[in-house]
Amino acid sequence: MSTRIGILGYGNLGRGVECAVRQNDDMELVAVFTRRNPESVSILTETAKVCNIADVEQWKDRIDVMIICGGSATDLPEQTPEYVKSFNVIDSFDTHAKIPEHFANVDAAAKAGGHIGIISVGWDPGMFSLNRLYANAILPEGKDYTFWGKGVSQGHSDAIRRIEGVKNAKQYTIPVDAALDAARSGRNPELTTREKHTRECFVVLEEGADAAKVEETIKTMPNYFADYDTTVHFISEEELLANHSGIPHGGFVLRSGVTGWEKENKHLIEYSLKLDSNPEFTASVLVAYARAAHRLAKEGQSGCKTVFDIAPAYLSAKSAEELRASML
Amino acid sequence: MSTRIGILGYGNLGRGVECAVRQNDDMELVAVFTRRNPESVSILTETAKVCNIADVEQWKDRIDVMIICGGSATDLPEQTPEYVKSFNVIDSFDTHAKIPEHFANVDAAAKAGGHIGIISVGWDPGMFSLNRLYANAILPEGKDYTFWGKGVSQGHSDAIRRIEGVKNAKQYTIPVDAALDAARSGRNPELTTREKHTRECFVVLEEGADAAKVEETIKTMPNYFADYDTTVHFISEEELLANHSGIPHGGFVLRSGVTGWEKENKHLIEYSLKLDSNPEFTASVLVAYARAAHRLAKEGQSGCKTVFDIAPAYLSAKSAEELRASML
């Protein structure tokens, strides 16, 4: 029997979930919930309904897992604890510092409702977190490195767009090759986020805007750019659309550690992602964990979980026997 | 309370486990079991005992997890089902084709004895298997690639040593850069094991041996070398000891896949290991899973498990709260 999926919120991530569900034969998208007028929202899956979020309770018995595709700043802290009362839910909450608080809220509501809520699913947090955990458990003496990119940072792109005279902009976060090499060297250097990354900006100006002033404003912007090696390119709107309309991302998680009685042997564990579409990849992770949520719920489990709490076999459509025979 | 570890078999892997236990504050090595005369075996841990394997039953209540460090060909198929009757056990059984049979044997014995047996722990099978599973669950449409090396293949080194006129030898398996690049390209080519690897041999001849004949015998050896691009270097025993006495290894697991309604976006997931000491790294994975075995046993679970069945949090000495706050 297939897992009946609901999508709550139909932006880039929601559309990514819709595409990912289609790639999994044991999954079925039954409904998309939106705050907009449902008639104004057209989805790709012919067999699924579009509904207003106000009607979500009517779907309690027709959805096995609800994938909540809101933003971490304001949506998810409200939505995930709210909807886990009625559904098994997955979210991609990515405000690292607030995860403990979010976990506690979702856990209490999930247990009260007898449902499973898996939070902070995606690649960071998500697959990168898993790789940090596995690598630290294997090599207790060592050093972790996380690099992001090359990829589009939505927050940094937005910050540029808010500058007067800027019509449109895309910002790429780029790992510094020399820093990556240093992390891989076994010398375990200290590397700040700034030393590990550069920032490249593609900016479309409003007519008559002062390019020099915009560039200065970007490069001196506190927190976002001031501490980084930042490059600004001014391009036409056509060029931005033609060459920078994708949402690629990726990155690297490394752990460099030692073993041996005298710590004489060095080891490097490296995990990396190169993604054409950040939201579609994140969505693909969400859907794999939706499969796990459904299975855990069928076992009678409830409460909040993270990727750390889920045995890998729960993510796969294959049986335990098939997995042992084909992938071990 | 710490996890009391026993080591059964004290070769390279057993010594690696001893070193790994020392790096984990919540672990304690209590005894090493050997088929040899215990008085002839000297270990590094002053507080641990060396015992004959015949006395192992006397340790039933003093060891939380026994790490079985025998070979996959003949030791583990006998030992793991035998000792899981009395202990929670971990092994590194790596004959991929026989894993289902080994699992069934260990599972039956583990359930009868009320213990946990985690089999096929290490890096391949082990961490590589986990990465294949996660990547396949996330990207159901794609292609897997596994590359081994650069590293020492014990089996191939032994095969060379058996040739008449060979005094000593080391064989390195080396991934082909062009094949790695092809796997990363997103074109998803078919690549055979032979296309992905070359073999480099360092050979010390017996006095008076015919080098040309030895080289010919190596390069035409069926299964081991005949199908590979093989290089043979003749060196002195001194050079072999000075430059080739380590047991490095490593490799790459990649999955190249697509997402999107029209499968228009490509993604690459890559995991790699670069290991100075194959046995010490394998041992470090075994010890992390020993922690998991102890916890599962304390929960009252029993039976055979693999890395697929163990939630990642069980591997870490940190609490769930600490993990969420520091690694998610």
Percent of chain B residues topping a pLDDT of 90: 97
How crowded is the C-beta side of A309, counted as CA atoms within 13 Å?
Answer: 19
Task: Please report, for residues A15, A93, A110, A157, A307, the alpha-carbon distance to residue A70 in angstroms, rounded to integers and kept in the order given.
Answer: 12, 9, 18, 19, 19
Instruction: Please indicate whether, in this complex, the C-beta atoms of A291 and B129 are within 8 angstroms of each other.
Output: no
- Residue B193: pLDDT band by 50, 70, 90 thresholds? confident
Mean pLDDT over each residue of chain B, to the nearest integer: 97
The reported pLDDT for the residue numbered B223 is 87
Chain B contacts of A249, Cβ < 8 Å? none
Is residue A316 less than 8 Å (CB to CB) from chain B? yes
Query: How many angstroms away from the CA of B173 is the closest CA of chain A?
Result: 18
- Based on its alpha-carbon atoms, the radius of gyration of chain B, rounded to whole angstroms, reads 22
CA-closest candidate to residue B61, choices B117, B119, B16, B115: B115
Is residue A104 less than 8 Å (CB to CB) from chain B? no
Structure tokens at A169: 């902009």
- Residue B293: pLDDT band by 50, 70, 90 thresholds? very high
The reported pLDDT for the residue numbered B328 is 95
Confidence check: pLDDT of A1 > 80: no
Of A137, A321, A324, the CB nearest to B288: A137
Judged by CB atoms within 8 Å, which residues 112-131 of B form the interface with A? 120, 125, 127, 129-131
Residue of B nearest to A185 (CA): B274
Task: Please report, for residues A5, A55, A132, the alpha-carbon distance to residue A38 in angstroms, rounded to integers and kept in the order given.
Answer: 18, 11, 41
Confidence check: pLDDT of A4 > 80: yes
Chain B contacts of A273, Cβ < 8 Å? 267-270
Of B134, B313, B321, the CB nearest to A309: B313
Query: How many angstroms away from the CA of A123 is the closest CA of chain B?
Result: 10
Confidence check: pLDDT of B2 > 80: yes
β-bridge partners, A50: A32
Of B20, B283, B308, the CB nearest to A312: B308
Instruction: Please indicate whether, in this complex, the C-beta atoms of A311 and B316 are within 8 angstroms of each other.
Output: no
Instruction: Please indicate whether, in this complex, the C-beta atoms of A96 and B328 are within 8 angstroms of each other.
Output: yes
Mean pLDDT over each residue of chain A, to the nearest integer: 97
The reported pLDDT for the residue numbered B53 is 97
Residue A72 · residue A97 · CB < 8 Å: no
Q: Which of B10, B45, B91, B138 to mutate to test the interface with A (most CBs of A within 10 A)?
A: B138
Residue pLDDT, tens place only, B221-252: 998 999 999 999 999 999 999 999 999 999 99
Strands (E), chain A: 3-8, 27-34, 49-52, 65-68, 88-90, 116-118, 142-148, 151-152, 166-175, 197-205, 229-234, 249-259, 265-275, 303-305
- Residue B1: pLDDT band by 50, 70, 90 thresholds? confident
Q: Which of A119, A308, A322, A323 to mutate to test the interface with B (most CBs of B within 10 A)?
A: A308
Of A259, A271, A311, the CB nearest to B277: A259
Of B100, B284, B327, the CB nearest to A139: B284
How crowded is the C-beta side of A174, counted as CA atoms within 13 Å?
Answer: 14
Instruction: Please indicate whether, in this complex, the C-beta atoms of B324 and A308 are within 8 angstroms of each other.
Output: yes
Of A136, A307, A311, the CB nearest to B310: A311
Residue pLDDT, tens place only, B39-80: 999 999 999 999 999 999 999 999 999 999 999 999 999 999
Residue pLDDT, tens place only, A217-249: 999 999 899 999 999 999 999 999 999 999 999
Chain B contacts of A16, Cβ < 8 Å? 259
Instruction: Please indicate whether, in this complex, the C-beta atoms of B23 and A266 are within 8 angstroms of each other.
Output: no
Residue of A nearest to B92 (CA): A328
Instruction: Please indicate whether, in this complex, the C-beta atoms of B100 and A324 are within 8 angstroms of each other.
Output: yes
Confidence check: pLDDT of B321 > 80: yes
Query: How many angstroms away from the CA of B165 is the closest CA of chain A?
Result: 33
The reported pLDDT for the residue numbered A223 is 87
Residue of B nearest to A120 (CA): B328
Strands (E), chain B: 3-8, 27-34, 49-52, 65-68, 88-90, 116-118, 142-148, 151-152, 166-175, 197-205, 229-234, 249-259, 265-275, 303-305
- Residue A312: pLDDT band by 50, 70, 90 thresholds? very high
Chain B contacts of A22, Cβ < 8 Å? 261
